[in-house]
Amino acid sequence: MRLPTWLAQHLAALRALLVFTVLLGLAYPLALVAAGRIPGLADKADGSLVSAGGQTVGSALIGQSFTDADGNPVPRYFQSRPSAAGDGYDPTATAASNLGPESVVDTIATDPEESTLSLLTQVCERSKAVGELNGVDGRRPYCTTDGVGAVLAVFRRDGLTGPVTRVVSVNQVAPAAPFLARYEGMPVELAQPGEDYVAAGGLVTPIRGDAPAEPAVPADAVTASGSGLDPHISPAYAEIQVERVARERRADPAAVRRLVDSHTTGRSLGFMGEPGVNVLELNLALDRQFPAR
């Protein structure tokens, strides 16, 4: 029996797909899984697992949260970057924040559960917290001293132009004090939960403030990574944590600093990427050399 051409064609297509599925979908990956059993490669193919005291405690490539059950940082450990993966560093729910560069207005609902923070406020909050934890200046441009985005909704008589009629600090609610007393002569109000000042016609106006252009808290300490699993922090973020960790462990800061240096990976071939400190491996080394008493 001769099949009609169109059917013969689809039959050939199906056969081709099955052949390639066996070849490329089974033989190829499984051969590589087998190759991954070669000594020397096996540890890596299995996920670069690291152990302490006979227990597997993580992967050298996957970051962890060094926080207690309530989510507060454990001060004797170097802290990782913020993470948007699940509740933080969850490899089964990897994610980035996906918030944009002009995400600056919080949604403050009457029910605090429904409020969402803008990226700017998250950055300001983290900067303040990291500053306090490490005893450095946590101020940043466009942040209030109480750690939210310094953003005004400015209402003008003619919409975009004309004299200012009303000014609201959109990310601050009572009992905070407005970060700015007056703006173009008008007193600055606090936001009321549940109000949408942008929809009401207020012009979003971030205020730079007088924070230093190069804040003491480094950039990676206040931003979430793309993977949510970033195993590294910048050497600068490690540096501001050295004194605290040394104090907690009653160790010599210089010795801790040397340990940081030995866990810092530089650029590949001198020009690829940027240096980073592997936080999990550093903390493991600290536990070995300076066990907390």
Partner 1 sequence: MTVTTAGVLFILSLVVALVAVHKPFGDHMFRVVSGQRHSRVERGIYRLVGVDPAAEQTWGVYARSVLAFSAVSVLFLYGFMRVQNHLWLSLGFDPVMTHGAWNTAVSFVTNTNWQWYSGESTMGHLVQMAGLAVQNFVSAAVGIAVAVALVRGFARRRTGDLGNFWVDLTRITLRILLPISVLGALALMIGGAVQNLSAGTEITTLTGGSQTITGGPVASQEVIKELGTNGGGFYNVNSAHPFENPTRWTNWLETFLILLIPFSLPRVFGRMVGQNRQGYAIAAVMAILATASITLTNVFELTGNGTVPQAVGAALEGKEVRFDVSNSATFAAATTLTSTGAVNSFHDSYTALGGGMLLLNMMFGEVAPGGVGAGLYGLLVLAVITVFVAGLMVGRTPEYIGKKIGSREIKLASLYFLVTPALVLIGTAAAFATGNNSTALNVGPHGLSEVLYAFTSASNNNGSAFAGITVNAPWWNTALGICMLLGRFLPIIFVLALAGSLARQQPVPASEGTLPTHRPLFVGMVVGVTVILVALTFLPALALGPLAEGL
Asked if 119 and 153 touch (Cβ cutoff 8 Å), the reply is no
Q: How far is the CB of 247 from partner 1 (least distance, A)?
A: 18
Number of residues that bind partner 1 (CB under 8 A): 112
Query: Segment contacting partner 1 (CB under 8 A): 140-148, 162-170, 180-188, 242-250?
Result: 140-148
Rule CB under 8 A: is residue 77 a binding residue for partner 1? Answer: yes
Min separation Cβ 40 and partner 1, Å: 9
Segment lying near partner 1 (by CB under 8 A), choices 156-164, 181-189, 245-253, 280-288: 280-288
> Considering only residues 194-213, where is the footprint of partner 1 by CB under 8 A?
198, 206, 208, 213
Residues within window 166-195 making contact with partner 1, judged by CB under 8 A: none
Place of tokens 């793309």: 226
Q: Taking CB under 8 A as the rule, does residue 224 contact partner 1? A: yes
Interaction with partner 1 in 20-49: which residues (CB under 8 A)? 20-21, 24-26, 28-33, 35-36, 41, 44-49
Q: How far apart are CA 225 and CA 197, in angstroms?
A: 31
Cα–Cα distance, 31 to 48 (Å, whole number): 20
The single residue among 144, 169, 225, 241 that binds partner 1, judged by CB under 8 A, is: 225
**E-only strand ranges, the chain:** 49-52, 55-59, 151-158, 161-169, 182-183, 186-190, 203-206, 232-233, 264-265, 276-278
Measure the CA–CA gap between 199 and 279, rounded to whole angstroms: 43
Say if CB 80 and CB 89 are below 8 A apart: yes
